[in-house]
Structure 1
Amino acid sequence: MAFQKPSHTFTKIHLKALRTNNFKILFALSFTVFINTLSFAQDIPVKGKPIEKSEKDIVIVSTDSISKPEVSEKEQDSIIKDSIKPKKELLEHIVKYHATDYTKFSQKDQRLYLYNDARIDYGDMNITAGSIVVDYYKNTVYAKGITDSIEGYIQKPVLTQGSNVVEPDSLIFNTETKKALIFNSKTEQGEGTVIASITKKENDSVYFLKDAKYTTAENLDDPEYYIKLRKAKIVPGKKIVTGLANLFIYDVPTPLGLPFGFFPQSEKQTSGVLIPSFGEQNDRGYFLQNFGYYFAINDYLNLAVLGDYYTNGSYGMRMESTYVKRYKFRGNVGFRYENLITSERGFPDYARSTIYNLRWSHSQDSKANPNARFSASVNLGSSTYYRNSINQINTGAFLNNTLSSSVSYSQTFQGEPQVNYSVTATHSQNTNTETINMTLPTFQGSVGRMYPFASKTGSKKGLIQNINLQYNIRGENRIQTTDSLFFKKEMFDDAKAGFQHTIPLSTNFKVFKHFSVSANTSYNEVWTFKTINRYYDNVNRETVTEDVNGFDSFRTYNFSTSIGTTIYGMFNFEKEGKDPKIQKIRHVMRPSISYNINPAFDQYYDSYEVISADGLTTSEVEYSRFEQGVFGTPSKNFSSSMGISVANNFEAKVKDKDSTATEPKKIILLNNLNFSTSYNFAGDSLQWSPVRMSGGTQLFKNKLSINFGATLDPYALDSNNNRIDKFNIDNGGSLFRLTSANLTASWSLSSKQADKKDDKRDPGIDENVRSGGRDDDLFGVSQDFANQQLNRDKDKDGDEEPSELYNFKIPWTLRVAYAVNYSNSRRQNEISSHSLMFSGDIQLSDKWSVGASSGYDLKNAGFTYTQLRFERDLLSWRMNFSWIPFSTRASWNFFIGIKSNILKDLKYEKRSQPDIQL
């Protein structure tokens, strides 16, 4: 590259008076005339014989009156095919330059001077600096800053070429060779910055450095750490290759170093080795954890394969994959397997077990297909996986007692009527009893609601026009098994399958203007492929139940109706001359009465006789051959019952504290207060069912949520604490007998500073949710700090400058959950459970934060699972400490490492893990 000299119009010409010399002038003019007389131009070649052309071939080139000499085509070709190639243009791009103070060109020095906010643009290269000097004789560009008496050295050069930016103190650039010497440069390479005293730019894609520093620190003038590179080669956007390199912390050298190093700088994800964590466990010896390889398969899919190994023979394997396609779907899948060995072979406490866990989450973008949707949420495996896992990532989920999964596909066919269907596979697993219930699969289909008597135009009115019906079908293949038979062929031996068809017919209308009436009837048909046959074995003196394979079915129907209304009440406390704080209380009450009738379908019931040893019939037992079916059995008894319910809502209008407000402020006193009971007309005793009361409210700007409930039984108990057909008030008691009650409250408190912070959920809580745990930290969070190095500083509000004064505003959050249950169904009069859980975080400073989660069992007088957390933000580093002080999982975990992903393997981690209880 070379710079073209500016036009002479930019040259400053200074004129001054000269003394004339007539003799010399006359001599020069005579010599000029003599030279012009003897000089001649190139001879005009002899014309060749012109080529004859027809009038059609003649092309008029010019209409100038002065005729031009004809040139034969043959001689024109000889000039074009000249062996001397034309000289290449001096510049390939347009050169643009600018300076605020002055732009000066010196013909004597052949230099262009640009001063103050100087700028040169040439192709994809741009140089800005305080001062730029272009030397046309040496083909060099010299850029440097300028010195200000107040601010010092300012307007340092910035060299930009493509996406590569270099910020040195000064630089020299050769426009022909495109090489450069850069002094005291700062260059961003990926997530880090390279600070070099001398940099040699070989070409557009190679830099050589000497005595350089590589760091991810934000303060480049005084970085808290850096890796010193004695010699290095940089290929921007691809790699950094170094010779001897070691770690410095605040300019203090450490023994951590390598004879050579390689830093990938690709802007795209790349495959690579995952560095493990080293440590020692109490009963498994030394270990390597999280060692593996990351496969960057493509822009839509990745895979991480990890493993753990313990010197006593225990090992673990994990595979984690994430996939995403924009506007289509996204998801992640993971499989974990651990082979755990306790003690040594030959010892009495030797034990060996294998545990595994499979997780899959898939969600479809709503824009992908509005009429079809596929989703998955899978969490299944060994019931003891979260309790016995040796990996710290499962710390926040070991209290889970339920694992559940669901994979579903649904589709809608638009039209009149609309048709829908879905296929779902579900899984529910109790980790305490190790019982597993699955449906493989569940099929559901429906035909949209149809109004056969409605008018084609206008709204539907009246009893007849509102008659509607629809069709629903549900099919299930239900499996119940245990951990020991999971994924074995035996788990399918007791599978149950069946279909249920339902056709509901309903209508609704109004009576007396204010009452809404609805009437419903439903036809139900159940198909099953396995029934039972039961009889009494006189030889073995026992009841025998046999499975009968084959198609069978039963049909039922019922009828129900209800009437309800809404009553509004207003209590006005406003009076003339008074302005009370509580101005009005609004009460909304929704009473409802329903009636249900279910016929008896005793034709589907059989009986067998129990015969005593002397051959006499002692009893006759009825049973239904559909007892073990998927959708239950038809009702044997006739039922005619009435249901009564009342729903209440209370709101208040209070005087607003804001004096400028024109309307009173509305607050909710009770979100709901509901009462319900029923009366069975067909029953011969205990016709009234207990009254169920439930309610809830939210206080203090929805920060305190309270829910409560109680069961009130109108019947008394006998001496054996059994219900009798006698009202409790007639037995000398109260109108109702309190049989159970419950109260739950959750309170979330935070300072105003914490409210202003960005509400982003901790990644440890996200891991809890994926594992089937709580969406808070009341049971603790994951301790896998090495894989959760997130640069949260980027999430902070950068507009607020830190103050050098003492910060008395300490952000904090506190979450409290309280639960109590009371039982008195058989005069036990006891608190069945009573617990208090709490968790909180305190940000002592911008860099220090402390968190804890614990609880107290008020009934058994003991602390529940407790976890203490400490976190220190060390600018480019992060330090975490987690401590579980007691319980069977008592342990601690210390971690310190660099936040940046490119150097996240530069870390130190120490763990004290608990002994695994098998």
Structure 2
Amino acid sequence: MAFQKPSHTFTKIHLKALHTNNFKILFALSFTVFINTLSFAQDIPKKGKTINPSIRDSVIVNTDSLLVPEISEKRQDSTLTDSVPPKKELLETIVTYHADDYTKFNQKKQKLYLYNNAKIDYGDMNITSGNIVIDYTKNTVYAKGITDSIEGYTQKPVFTQGNNVVEPDSIIFNTETKKALIFNSKTEQGEGTVVAQITKKENDSVYFLKNAKYTTAEDLEDPEYYIKLRKAKIVPGKKIVTGLANLFIYDVPTPIGVPFAFFPQTEKQTSGVIIPSFGEQNDRGFFLQNGGYYFAISDYVDLAVIGDYYTNGSYGMRMESTYSKRYKYRGNLGFRYENLINSERGFPDYSKNTIYNIRWSHSQDSKANPNSRFSASVNLGSSTFYRSSVNQINTGAFLNNSLSSSVSYSKTFQGEPQVNFSLTATHSQNTNTEEINMTLPTFQGSIGRIYPFSSKSGSKKGIIQNMNLQYNVRGENRIKTNDEFFFKKEMFDDAKAGFQHTVPLSTNFKIFKHFSISASSNYNEVWSFQTKKKTYHLSERAFVTDTIKKFDSFRTYNFSTSLGTTVYGMFDFEKGKKKDRKIKAIRHVMRPSVSYNINPAFHRYYETAEVVNADGLTKAEEDLILENVDLEYTRFEQLSIFGTPNKDFSSSMGISLSNNLEAKIRDKDSTATEPKKVVLLNNLNFSTSYNFAADEFQWSPVRMSGGTQLFDGKMSVNFGATLDPYALDNNNRKINEFNINNGGSLFRLTSANLTTSWSISSKKGDTKQKDKNIDENLRSGGRADDLFGVSEDFSNPQMNNDREDKKEDASSEHYNYKIPWNLRVAYAVNYSNSARQDEISSHSLMFSGDIELSPKWSIGASSGYDLKNAGFTFTQLRFERDLLSWRMNFSWVPFSSRSSWNFFIGIRSSILQDLKYEQRRQPDITL
């Protein structure tokens, strides 16, 4: 490598003397002035103050001030901004395109051709088609499909702009004006689809249609119905406004039409009118039923106000509200009121009755607050509401004979020990006796189990370490009333309040490895705010009770222990050379248990009633004993809601035995390696007790109960019986003598019961009723099946099934050779023989089922037969026809006091749910 001298890197410059030329100097100055004058209007206006560099480079040579042109001080000339706007570019945004076969550009015609699976993206616009032509001179995009000799017209255009999707046969779109002509388009609008011959896209939010069809049918090539729109305007996501429109059914016009129409299109809930159904009832004339208004209050809560009106003056009102907040809570609230009038004023059978019902259901999401919970299940009102109501929505609940409610709040305080408390309001109502029992409220508190002698780590062993105690407190305010005083101040007159404190102390341990022993002692303290004082009046031969409102209490305790074990027995059918038997083995599990209980007598809480004669003087107790008058009483009886102290000492032994039978059988599946386990008997229990302290009837009756499941769990069987060891005298009264010593058997059967339920279906595993109308039964306190029928309100989409996709047999659409079906059967029998009556007290059979005659036809029935009284119970027949976008229902109660029928045909879609026909005959109920 060689280094070059620095002097060799510079070029030598020879300096020459400058000659002065006056003409050239004058010409240069004149040209400079001329250029500066004319070029001022072409300068780019200053956009803002420039930022001068803070540090100057020392290498920069200063320019002579004489060579710097002068800058004009006057403002920019007005001609700087051109009044004519600059011409827009041909395409404002970047165009992205693609095609499988070829992309060709015609320079002469300024056209771009895309063929086969062509795709173009321009801003928020997207077009996919078989053939696309872009004309740059006219700013248009033309898209159409490809015609194939085998497959026909394929790869039809799909035009997407924003959230709007259009599927036409062809489309012309102007990229400058954003307008488009769309031919034979199909576009979804809400729950329906608009099929139009010609559609003119005015802008991003307005479409004009000509000869269009609006339908919710799935088969758009041959819709079963549509509403023909001669001229219409669409604002996507908001509304469809049309002129003359009428209904077509399979291309056949119907006279059902309107001169103009408005179809709201929104994804959010909207308020609107609920069209009523009409009909006639013999006692009340013509009626309008289940009509009203729906209020979409917010995204979390709604309200439906629905009413009924009858021409004889009867009316009804129903308010239903549903609310929900994700991860927080959900519920519904309903109020129903009916004012029913029978006959006409002035006639002897004229009557007027008002009934009401309140329902509330609330559930809290478990993730909302793991340490506190609020829930509500309320169903209260008039005892005769479901029996008297003429609204067929209550059909499935009129057989209920009880109403119940519960509203509770509970909270847990984590720690050691754990503390819990809850507040609950309950209500139970017998609709036959019209008796109502309520607790307003019930307070419960508890402290978790404390093991004072156990180690903080490791398992608990022995009698000492397993010893534990806890504390429970319960306070109630009980109210007993009836329908007459419900929700009136009189219902609180006989209210009772009290508290109960319990401290259980228990332990458990094992002896001889196989026996478990548990022992417990319970301390109980009851507070009462009312007591009584009794006086016996000889003149009236009756007791007179005075209520004393003051605080009082009593304390009791008891002791109990139990000894139990588990015994296993196995019978093997394959012992020795006997192999591959169908029944491999049977296992028998027995759990015997013996318990002992001591309940002391607390005589200090009992006293003798004062006896007063006509002169106000007392009489000796001996005289009253001869008259069989018991003067001993406790001041807490009938006023203490947590019972009374024991009057008699009790020392009893309890004996129980539970059994379980299981079998192992050969599995039908040849690939199975293990035998199949089958439950022969879920449980078979026996129990009785012996009271050592009793003077007579020391043995209590033997109670037997059992249950099992058959046919792979499809059928359940439960049975029970009561066996009394004591005999009866000639007057059918129980005597203190064993039945076997009186010439009878060891035990006397006094009662027995048997209940079975069987649910089967032609499809394996499909044994559950999926009808959403059953939810109405449950909310009304009814059964979780359709054995007593179901509620009827076909016009309400919230109470009807959403049509599920069914796999149809392609060979036939009118006959289903497999005929799906399901059947539910319930059988119950009760036997009574406590006083030698030897009778079947009740004997009934209930059944319900559905048969799908074809993929579109189904029938169902709910009925029963009273085998004792030889008569059919409440019967309901149901028929349903699936008309694809439509549904047709017919429900019929052929006999009983609620004989009625209901026919409905209407569109499934909620947007057109008012397009329906409903006719019904109300039950003729006499109050």
Fold similarity call, TM over 0.5: yes
Confirm whether residue 697 of structure 1 aligns to residue 705 of structure 2: no
Describe the SS at the equivalent of 1:241: strand
- Separation (CA, whole Å) in 1 of partners of 2:684 and 2:69: 109
- Separation (CA, whole Å) in 2 of partners of 1:52 and 1:823: 109
Confirm whether residue 577 of structure 1 aligns to residue 577 of structure 2: yes
- Separation (CA, whole Å) in 2 of partners of 1:607 and 1:858: 53
- Separation (CA, whole Å) in 1 of partners of 2:72 and 2:449: 91
Q: Judge conservation of contact 1:710–1:740 (CA < 8 Å) in 2.
A: yes
Alpha-carbon spacing, 1:160–1:428, altered in 2? closer, same or farther (3 Å)? same
Q: Deviations over 1:779-808 (max 9, x none)?
A: 00011111137785753356x664337531
Residue of structure 1 equivalent to 2:912 = 903
Describe the SS at the equivalent of 1:544: strand
Residue of structure 2 equivalent to 1:264 = 264
Confirm whether residue 535 of structure 1 aligns to residue 535 of structure 2: yes
Residue of structure 1 equivalent to 2:64 = none
Alignment-mate amino acid for residue 842 of structure 2: S
Residue of structure 1 equivalent to 2:99 = 99
Q: 2:811 aligns with which of 793, 803, 806?
A: 803
Confirm whether residue 605 of structure 1 aligns to residue 606 of structure 2: yes
Confirm whether residue 361 of structure 1 aligns to residue 343 of structure 2: no
Q: Deviations over 1:759-787 (max 9, x none)?
A: 56211111100100000000000111111
Describe the SS at the equivalent of 1:428: strand
Gaps of 5+ in 1: 1-39, 64-68
Alignment-mate amino acid for residue 575 of structure 1: K
1:211-222, aligned counterparts within 5 Å?
A: 211-222=211-222
Gaps of 5+ in 2: 1-30, 41-48, 62-66
- Separation (CA, whole Å) in 1 of partners of 2:119 and 2:34: 50
Q: Deviations over 1:356-405 (max 9, x none)?
A: 00000000000000100000000000011111112111100000000000
Q: Judge conservation of contact 2:771–2:800 (CA < 8 Å) in 1.
A: no
Alignment-mate amino acid for residue 812 of structure 2: E
- Shift in Å, 1:42: 14
Residue of structure 1 equivalent to 2:678 = 667
Which has the larger displacement, 780-789 or 491-500?
780-789
Alpha-carbon spacing, 1:254–1:735, altered in 2? closer, same or farther (3 Å)? same
Describe the SS at the equivalent of 2:795: helix
Q: Judge conservation of contact 1:791–1:899 (CA < 8 Å) in 2.
A: no
Q: Judge conservation of contact 2:442–2:476 (CA < 8 Å) in 1.
A: yes
Which has the larger displacement, 90-99 or 179-188?
90-99
Q: Judge conservation of contact 1:193–1:216 (CA < 8 Å) in 2.
A: yes
Residue of structure 1 equivalent to 2:415 = 415
Q: Judge conservation of contact 2:90–2:139 (CA < 8 Å) in 1.
A: no
Describe the SS at the equivalent of 1:733: coil
Q: Deviations over 1:813-850 (max 9, x none)?
A: 01110101111111111111111101111111110111
- Shift in Å, 1:134: 1.6
Aligned residues: 869
Residue of structure 1 equivalent to 2:345 = 345
Q: Judge conservation of contact 2:93–2:122 (CA < 8 Å) in 1.
A: yes
1:88-487, aligned counterparts within 5 Å?
A: 90-487=90-487
Describe the SS at the equivalent of 2:153: strand
Q: 1:912 aligns with which of 890, 899, 921?
A: 921
Residue of structure 2 equivalent to 1:4 = none
- Shift in Å, 1:871: 0.4
Alpha-carbon spacing, 1:71–1:377, altered in 2? closer, same or farther (3 Å)? farther
Confirm whether residue 731 of structure 1 aligns to residue 731 of structure 2: no
Q: 1:624 aligns with which of 600, 618, 634?
A: 634
- Shift in Å, 1:82: 3.8
Q: Judge conservation of contact 1:763–1:788 (CA < 8 Å) in 2.
A: no
Residue of structure 2 equivalent to 1:833 = 842
- Separation (CA, whole Å) in 2 of partners of 1:309 and 1:61: 102
- Separation (CA, whole Å) in 1 of partners of 2:81 and 2:347: 95
- Shift in Å, 1:575: 2.9
Confirm whether residue 644 of structure 1 aligns to residue 655 of structure 2: yes
Which has the larger displacement, 642-651 or 281-290?
281-290
Q: Judge conservation of contact 2:90–2:136 (CA < 8 Å) in 1.
A: no
Q: 2:36 aligns with which of 30, 41, 45?
A: 45
- Separation (CA, whole Å) in 2 of partners of 1:668 and 1:585: 10
Residue of structure 2 equivalent to 1:56 = 54
Alignment-mate amino acid for residue 386 of structure 1: Y
Alpha-carbon spacing, 1:289–1:793, altered in 2? closer, same or farther (3 Å)? closer
- Separation (CA, whole Å) in 2 of partners of 1:43 and 1:755: 100
Describe the SS at the equivalent of 1:630: coil
Alignment-mate amino acid for residue 122 of structure 1: Y
Q: 2:857 aligns with which of 839, 848, 868?
A: 848
Alpha-carbon spacing, 1:761–1:52, altered in 2? closer, same or farther (3 Å)? closer
- Separation (CA, whole Å) in 2 of partners of 1:566 and 1:73: 113
Residue of structure 1 equivalent to 2:15 = none
Describe the SS at the equivalent of 1:550: coil
Residue of structure 2 equivalent to 1:15 = none
Alpha-carbon spacing, 1:878–1:789, altered in 2? closer, same or farther (3 Å)? farther
Alpha-carbon spacing, 1:553–1:140, altered in 2? closer, same or farther (3 Å)? same
Alpha-carbon spacing, 1:59–1:212, altered in 2? closer, same or farther (3 Å)? farther
- Shift in Å, 1:105: 1.7
Q: Judge conservation of contact 2:440–2:479 (CA < 8 Å) in 1.
A: yes
- Shift in Å, 1:230: 1.2
What stretches of structure 1 move > 6 A for 4+ residues in a row?
Answer: 40-43, 51-55, 59-63, 69-77, 611-615
Q: Judge conservation of contact 2:537–2:613 (CA < 8 Å) in 1.
A: no
- Shift in Å, 1:93: 2.5
Q: Deviations over 1:565-617 (max 9, x none)?
A: 11111111113332221111111111110000000011111222567889764
Q: Judge conservation of contact 1:423–1:442 (CA < 8 Å) in 2.
A: yes
- Separation (CA, whole Å) in 2 of partners of 1:529 and 1:43: 117
- Shift in Å, 1:531: 1.3
Confirm whether residue 549 of structure 1 aligns to residue 549 of structure 2: yes
Describe the SS at the equivalent of 1:491: helix
Q: Deviations over 1:671-706 (max 9, x none)?
A: 101100000000011100000011000011100100
Alpha-carbon spacing, 1:75–1:407, altered in 2? closer, same or farther (3 Å)? same
Q: Judge conservation of contact 2:226–2:249 (CA < 8 Å) in 1.
A: yes
Residue of structure 1 equivalent to 2:590 = 589
- Separation (CA, whole Å) in 1 of partners of 2:760 and 2:424: 40
Describe the SS at the equivalent of 2:530: strand
Q: Judge conservation of contact 1:789–1:878 (CA < 8 Å) in 2.
A: no
Q: Judge conservation of contact 1:653–1:667 (CA < 8 Å) in 2.
A: yes
- Separation (CA, whole Å) in 2 of partners of 1:873 and 1:613: 83
Residue of structure 1 equivalent to 2:730 = 719
Residue of structure 1 equivalent to 2:16 = none
- Separation (CA, whole Å) in 2 of partners of 1:351 and 1:42: 115
Residue of structure 1 equivalent to 2:719 = 708
- Separation (CA, whole Å) in 1 of partners of 2:545 and 2:858: 64
Aligned CA-pair RMSD:
2.6
Confirm whether residue 883 of structure 1 aligns to residue 881 of structure 2: no
Which has the larger displacement, 525-534 or 496-505?
525-534
Describe the SS at the equivalent of 1:795: coil
Q: 2:751 aligns with which of 740, 745, 750?
A: 740
- Separation (CA, whole Å) in 1 of partners of 2:598 and 2:539: 44
- Separation (CA, whole Å) in 2 of partners of 1:501 and 1:303: 45
Alpha-carbon spacing, 1:760–1:401, altered in 2? closer, same or farther (3 Å)? closer
- Separation (CA, whole Å) in 1 of partners of 2:53 and 2:903: 98
Residue of structure 1 equivalent to 2:696 = 685
Which has the larger displacement, 607-616 or 191-200?
607-616
Alignment-mate amino acid for residue 292 of structure 2: G
- Separation (CA, whole Å) in 2 of partners of 1:70 and 1:295: 79
Alpha-carbon spacing, 1:119–1:61, altered in 2? closer, same or farther (3 Å)? farther
Alpha-carbon spacing, 1:80–1:688, altered in 2? closer, same or farther (3 Å)? farther
* Percentage of pairs with the same residue: 76
Alpha-carbon spacing, 1:707–1:814, altered in 2? closer, same or farther (3 Å)? same
Alpha-carbon spacing, 1:760–1:778, altered in 2? closer, same or farther (3 Å)? closer
Describe the SS at the equivalent of 1:395: helix
Which has the larger displacement, 510-519 or 606-615?
606-615
- Shift in Å, 1:456: 2.0
- Separation (CA, whole Å) in 1 of partners of 2:305 and 2:34: 83
Alpha-carbon spacing, 1:41–1:259, altered in 2? closer, same or farther (3 Å)? farther
Alignment-mate amino acid for residue 544 of structure 2: V
